[in-house]
Structure 1
Amino acid sequence: MISGYAQHGLFKEAVEMFRDMQIGNVRPNYVTLVSVLPAISRLGALELGKWIHLYAGKNGIGIDDVLSSALVDMYGKCGSIEDALRVFKQLSKRNVITWNVIISGLAMHSRVDDALDYFSKMERAGVVPSDVTYIGILSACSHAGLVEKGRAFFIHMINVIGLEPRVEHYGCMVDLLGRAGLLEEAEELILNMPIQPDDVTWKALLGACKMQGNIEMGKRVAEILMDLAPHDSGSYIALSNMYASLGNWEVVANVRLRMKDMDIRKDPGGSSIELDGAIHEFVVEDESHPRAGEIHSMLEEISKKLSLEVHRPNTTQVLLNMDEEEKQSALHYHSEKIATAFGLLSTAPRTSLRIFKNLRICEDCHSSIKLISKIYKRKIVVRDRKRFHHFENGLCSCKDYW
């Protein structure tokens, strides 16, 4: 049942069933641990993941290739890349899967130099890279804007290792080129792919168009996506946001009317934080938490302290037709800010916070949390849809390239 829940994306239900086992004094075995760890990874439930690791050691459950890879993956995806590295280094034997997991984890945490170094170590250890290895290493290059290195790895995969690129590899290359502003080259790569590009590949280009402000190409790509995946809200939202950034509210209204006619709904932004083994979830403008009043007061305190740091809210991120004051208020209650405020309220000074968001972090929240980490002397780790951001002393691990 736990495995079934996890495989169908019901991660909370998988973890709840695992907790029910504990309450019912049913001892988890090897299969249980392997089944529940992916759900823990997705939820960011680090404390529960640590408990499972400790439980396996104390109860003589053999940590083989499968379980060790799951543990390394769990630590990386729960925001503790140092623990992932510690587990990896303790392994007496490492196969291609464990190498892939640590390389992808390092890439996700903006540890690009380390990811490249571990790729070299993998080759020196005589382990032949797989197609998954190259997805991780190309993602690392994309996160850091290493265009030439990315091109070299792509060619190495084909000419030296003899692997045929999958659609995921092309998607990584499109993302790499698009982020670097090479939109025409990225589009040309898609159009000349020997395999059919999927919606994820086109979405990478659409995201780059939004980032680079290329409305004409963005409109063209969005139309392609609407044909490929007509009921996916992402392309409609991206197109709407591009026109909203230009203040073209008539086109924005038309796009949203089209969504309404097709009963397409935007995925709501949500963030979560784990404290004392419990996961607290928040959505935009959330007032449902039992400590909502305290959270609101903390948000007001944060806002005042940010203003003293000459922080100006980036209202270009509010893509709605409202006045400046309303836009600033809307930014104030983004889910990751609410989760951050709750974390500051609920933990001792200098305690690190780990926040998990289902969408890409916006520019205003990114700049705000950088300053919050400096003001409150906290390390704040935020996992968004794409990667981890490690905020500390007013800086971010992504170096503002994301």
Structure 2
Amino acid sequence: MSRQALHLFDTPSILSLLTSSSSLSQARQSHAHILKTGLSIDTHFNTKLLSLYTHHLCFADAELVLDSIPQPDLFSFSTLIYASSKLNRFTHVLSLFSKMLSRGLLPDSHVLPSAFKACTGLSDLKSGKQVHGIGFVSGFVSDSYVQSSLVHMYVKCNQLRDAHKVVDEISEPDVFSWSALVSGYAKQGCVSKAKGVFDEMGSLGIAPNLVTWNGLIAGFNQSGCYLESIYMFKNMHLRGFKSDGTSISSVLPSVGDLEDLNVGIQIHGYAVKQGIELDKCVVSALIDMYGKCACSSAMSQVFDEMDQLDLGACNALVAGLSRNGLADEALMVFKQFKSKEMDLNVVSWTSVIACCSQNGKDMEALDLFREMQIAGVRPNSVTIPCLLPACGNIAALMHGKAAHGFSLRRGISFDVYVGSALIDMYAKCGRIEASQLFFDGMPTRNLVCWNALMAGYAMHGKAKEVMEIFHLMLRSGQKPDFISFTCILSACSQSGLTEEGQYYFNSMSGEHGIEARVEHYACMVTLLGRAGKLEEAYSIIKKMPYKPDACVWGALLSSCRVHKNMSLGEIAADKLFKLEPKNPGNYILLSNIYASKGKWDEVDKVRDMMKSMGLRKNPGCSWIEVKNKVHVLLAGDKSHPQMTQIIEKLDKFSMEMKKSGSFPITDFVLQDVEEQDKEQILCGHSEKLAVVFGLLNTRPGSPLRVIKNLRICGDCHAVIKFISNFERREIFVRDTNRFHHFKDGQTELIEPPSVMDRAKAVKGVAEEKLAGLQLSSSVGFENGRLDIKTDSAVAVSLITEPL
């Protein structure tokens, strides 16, 4: 602005430009004139400028004005603090509050609520208590508005005792403070306390309003007190209150979690009568409820009746379809939303990735994760644990490492849920050492992390390590749950440790107060069955305190298949045919038992039964990751482009084995065919095809990792053992039960050291690697915890490389 233009301004004209209706340009013109003419020492002008700049959200300009005031008053700070609080700029609020105190100014009843709101938004209890103390000094803490904001702050920070004290000190109690306290107790699951405070309100003459009731309903739902949530909803109606969209969308999740479809239908009908059935939150809650109640048709109908698409409802529909095993439909619906160019958020992408990962569509989950990043949506600490199981399921190690690197860059790798998913992924990819190393470096661990590590060692057949970790967990003060015992019993059954398994099974209720579930009985049946104690296993089933499920009978049938026990096998199969009439695996197991006894007529009867029901045997399928790509090989598949080379190499191995005196184990071909045909059938098993495919497409000496969807047969086990020695390769094959390690013609690696010794050894190797890389990094080890501080890329490399 020119000097001549500046002289056109006088004090009245400047004031006329410093109103809330003035533009930002006018504000800056006035500011320039104030600076030029020396009027910046006038607090009145500066306060007007502060208000105008904050009105236009120009906080940097406003703070410059504040800093330029020689002696700012409380009102100057109050203007900026209030505006920042209104826009949820909580860190900025506390910074200004601190600056105000440094100028010797104490807050008043206008500033304190903004400061408490900032502490609430940041869940900063320490700062909140400091502001509370300053409020006492300033004398404004007894103001009702200040007290109300203080109650909300303590409730938000889960300090309900302090909140209750403040409420008791309020001279004129209001419904909002009491409602906040009632809601706080409900959210923490303190049923009697919440109801007690609610009744106390009535005795003081404070009538509850809709906010009070909604707080109770939502609070009990969030704390898992689902019956109490529904009870409060009904009680509210008995007292003459009409529900709004918040009431209905708060109670429906409880109805869904209790799977009480009748109550859900009644609430749906009530919403229709109230004319709020098309409320966005109500629609999403209805879809979620019907999905949890396995009523997919009603769920789709609610969605179809929407007058316009809503993102929350779309996400609820995808999650509901996934929950009911309708993965194809969920994926199709998601693609439709995407084609309509909806603004899909991280919840949308995470829901569909989780859907694919949980329903056997692992490749689709990996593809969706890539698409998500291309679409510019940033994955979070929920997305990564949903993706990693897909990487583990198909042993896509490089994809898992990429997800690990991403989580490191985002600073979420040590979130306990991300961490437990990483432990599980590395174990399923055959890198149990990486699982252990990552676990050792976690700053905090919860029970999920301990269970993930035990499950990983159990999968690798390392029962000794599982037991060691279990007792290390107990010494750390962490209490086991039913999953912990599933892991340890599974490990004992894999290793044939009958006595140890029985000890841990008995200690569940005796020492830890955990009642055995169906899965624990299934583990015991497997444990005894593998030891050949089939009658004892059957006796356990008959003595179970509740009805055995398909897992228990399936464990017995599998053991009967191993030990060729036809009489018990028929009993188990008969139970399974009633429990799972559409599961072809049960028919195949019984057929195999008959075939092992040479009873081909019975085999034909079982196969005819399958044919009449339209059931087919699940084809053997194996996965192997080569050059960052997952390859799938099917048993007997002739269409693979490298099949000729694969068969030629298998024939070569067969000849070499016969030269060394080893012959195909044709007993595993349970078909009434010639011996030569049996050998051909064995050659087509998918795990052999995958191993040879890996040999043809990887560098000599590198390890191979294969995943199979069925149990590995004895012949494949013998052939792969031979290949590991002949080709000097370390080979890992993961079937439906466990990992099989092949090295130098052996089926087990050298007995590993203890968990503590391994972690210490890894520390030494890590230090050597870091020194060789000349990085400014450190490796620490104390009380079983390993801590590596370096950049993310090197960290992933250290964790995932063989040490």
Q: What range is the shorter-chain TM-score in?
A: over 0.9
Residue of structure 2 in register with 1:320 after alignment = 671
Distance between the aligned counterparts of 1:63 and 1:95, measured in 2?
Answer: 11
Specify which structure has the bigger relative contact order, considering alpha-carbon pairs within 8 angstroms and separated by 6 or more residues. Answer: 1
Matched-pair contact (CA < 8 Å) for 2:391–2:425: yes
Distance apart, 1:19 and its partner CA: 2.2
Residue of structure 2 in register with 1:391 after alignment = 742
Pick from 464, 473, 477 the counterpart of residue 113 of structure 1. 464
Distance apart, 1:302 and its partner CA: 1.8
Distance between the aligned counterparts of 1:294 and 1:107, measured in 2?
Answer: 36
Q: What SS does the aligned partner of 1:273 have?
A: strand
Residue of structure 2 in register with 1:201 after alignment = 552
Matched-pair contact (CA < 8 Å) for 1:139–1:172: yes
Distance apart, 1:30 and its partner CA: 2.9
Q: What SS does the aligned partner of 1:94 have?
A: coil
Distance between the aligned counterparts of 1:312 and 1:99, measured in 2?
Answer: 43
Distance apart, 1:397 and its partner CA: 2.7
Pick from 338, 344, 367 the counterpart of residue 695 of structure 2. 344
**1:239 alignment partner AA:** L
Distance between the aligned counterparts of 2:383 and 2:453, measured in 1?
Answer: 23
**1:90 alignment partner AA:** G
Matched-pair contact (CA < 8 Å) for 2:669–2:682: yes
Matched-pair contact (CA < 8 Å) for 2:414–2:442: no
Residue of structure 2 in register with 1:36 after alignment = 387
Residue of structure 2 in register with 1:227 after alignment = 578
**2:382 alignment partner AA:** V
Matched-pair contact (CA < 8 Å) for 2:394–2:624: no
Residue of structure 1 in register with 2:17 after alignment = none
Distance apart, 1:309 and its partner CA: 2.4
Residue of structure 2 in register with 1:307 after alignment = 658
Distance apart, 1:344 and its partner CA: 0.6
Distance between the aligned counterparts of 2:364 and 2:705, measured in 1?
Answer: 21
1:148 matched to 2:499? The reply is: yes
Matched-pair contact (CA < 8 Å) for 1:186–1:205: yes
Distance apart, 1:93 and its partner CA: 1.7
Distance between the aligned counterparts of 2:701 and 2:529, measured in 1?
Answer: 38
Q: What SS does the aligned partner of 1:264 have?
A: coil
1:263 matched to 2:620? The reply is: no
Pick from 127, 131, 149 the counterpart of residue 478 of structure 2. 127
Matched-pair contact (CA < 8 Å) for 2:414–2:443: no
**1:340 alignment partner AA:** V
Distance between the aligned counterparts of 1:38 and 1:227, measured in 2?
Answer: 31
Residue of structure 2 in register with 1:381 after alignment = 732
TM-superposition CA deviations, 1:231-252 (whole Å, max 9, x none): 2112211111111112221111
Residue of structure 2 in register with 1:139 after alignment = 490
Q: Structure 2 length as normaliser, TM-score? A: 0.49
**Structure of larger gyration radius:** 2
Residue of structure 2 in register with 1:366 after alignment = 717
Matched-pair contact (CA < 8 Å) for 1:143–1:398: no
Change (3 A) 1:378 1:158: same
TM-superposition CA deviations, 1:223-266 (whole Å, max 9, x none): 12112212211221111111111222111111101111111111
| 1:264-283 matches, cutoff 5 A | 264-283=615-634
Pick from 610, 628, 636 the counterpart of residue 285 of structure 1. 636
**2:699 alignment partner AA:** A
Distance apart, 1:170 and its partner CA: 0.4
Matched-pair contact (CA < 8 Å) for 1:306–1:372: no
Pick from 669, 680, 692 the counterpart of residue 329 of structure 1. 680
Matched-pair contact (CA < 8 Å) for 1:110–1:398: no
| 1:56-95 matches, cutoff 5 A | 56-95=407-446
**1:57 alignment partner AA:** L
Q: Structure 1 length as normaliser, TM-score? A: 0.96
1:242 matched to 2:600? The reply is: no
The 10-residue stretch of structure 1 (294-303 or 44-53) with the greater mean CA deviation from structure 2: 294-303
Distance apart, 1:114 and its partner CA: 0.8
Residue of structure 2 in register with 1:294 after alignment = 645
Distance apart, 1:92 and its partner CA: 1.8
1:50 matched to 2:411? The reply is: no
Distance between the aligned counterparts of 2:720 and 2:698, measured in 1?
Answer: 17
Pick from 503, 510, 526 the counterpart of residue 159 of structure 1. 510
Distance between the aligned counterparts of 1:65 and 1:258, measured in 2?
Answer: 48
1:186 matched to 2:537? The reply is: yes
Q: What SS does the aligned partner of 1:126 have?
A: coil
Distance between the aligned counterparts of 1:398 and 1:239, measured in 2?
Answer: 34
Distance between the aligned counterparts of 2:709 and 2:470, measured in 1?
Answer: 29
Q: What SS does the aligned partner of 1:395 have?
A: coil
Residue of structure 1 in register with 2:285 after alignment = none
Count residues in correspondence.
399
Q: What SS does the aligned partner of 1:148 have?
A: helix
**1:51 alignment partner AA:** A
TM-superposition CA deviations, 1:317-345 (whole Å, max 9, x none): 11111100000111011100000110111
Residue of structure 2 in register with 1:168 after alignment = 519
More helix by share: 2
Distance between the aligned counterparts of 1:334 and 1:186, measured in 2?
Answer: 31
Distance between the aligned counterparts of 1:32 and 1:160, measured in 2?
Answer: 37
**2:626 alignment partner AA:** L
Distance apart, 1:54 and its partner CA: 1.6
Q: CA RMSD in A?
A: 1.5
TM-superposition CA deviations, 1:145-185 (whole Å, max 9, x none): 11111111011111110001110000000000000011111
TM-superposition CA deviations, 1:103-124 (whole Å, max 9, x none): 1110110111111111110111
Q: What SS does the aligned partner of 2:512 have?
A: coil
Unmatched 5+ stretches in structure 2: 1-351, 751-803
1:6 matched to 2:357? The reply is: yes
Distance between the aligned counterparts of 2:393 and 2:546, measured in 1?
Answer: 30
Q: What SS does the aligned partner of 2:382 have?
A: helix
**1:353 alignment partner AA:** L
1:16 matched to 2:401? The reply is: no
Q: What SS does the aligned partner of 1:16 have?
A: helix
Matched-pair contact (CA < 8 Å) for 1:337–1:365: yes
Matched-pair contact (CA < 8 Å) for 1:389–1:398: no
Distance apart, 1:31 and its partner CA: 3.0
Matched-pair contact (CA < 8 Å) for 1:353–1:379: yes
Distance apart, 1:25 and its partner CA: 5.6
Matched-pair contact (CA < 8 Å) for 1:313–1:364: yes
Matched-pair contact (CA < 8 Å) for 2:466–2:491: yes
Distance apart, 1:27 and its partner CA: 4.2
Q: What SS does the aligned partner of 1:263 have?
A: coil
Distance apart, 1:220 and its partner CA: 1.9
Distance between the aligned counterparts of 1:231 and 1:318, measured in 2?
Answer: 24
Runs of 4+ with deviation above 6 angstroms: none
Distance between the aligned counterparts of 2:503 and 2:488, measured in 1?
Answer: 11
Unmatched 5+ stretches in structure 1: none
TM-superposition CA deviations, 1:76-134 (whole Å, max 9, x none): 11111111111011112211111111011101101111111111101111111111000
The 10-residue stretch of structure 1 (282-291 or 122-131) with the greater mean CA deviation from structure 2: 282-291
Q: What SS does the aligned partner of 2:742 have?
A: strand
Q: What SS does the aligned partner of 1:325 have?
A: helix
Distance between the aligned counterparts of 2:369 and 2:639, measured in 1?
Answer: 26
Distance between the aligned counterparts of 1:294 and 1:125, measured in 2?
Answer: 54
TM-superposition CA deviations, 1:168-215 (whole Å, max 9, x none): 000000000000011111001001100111011101011111111211
The 10-residue stretch of structure 1 (235-244 or 390-399) with the greater mean CA deviation from structure 2: 390-399
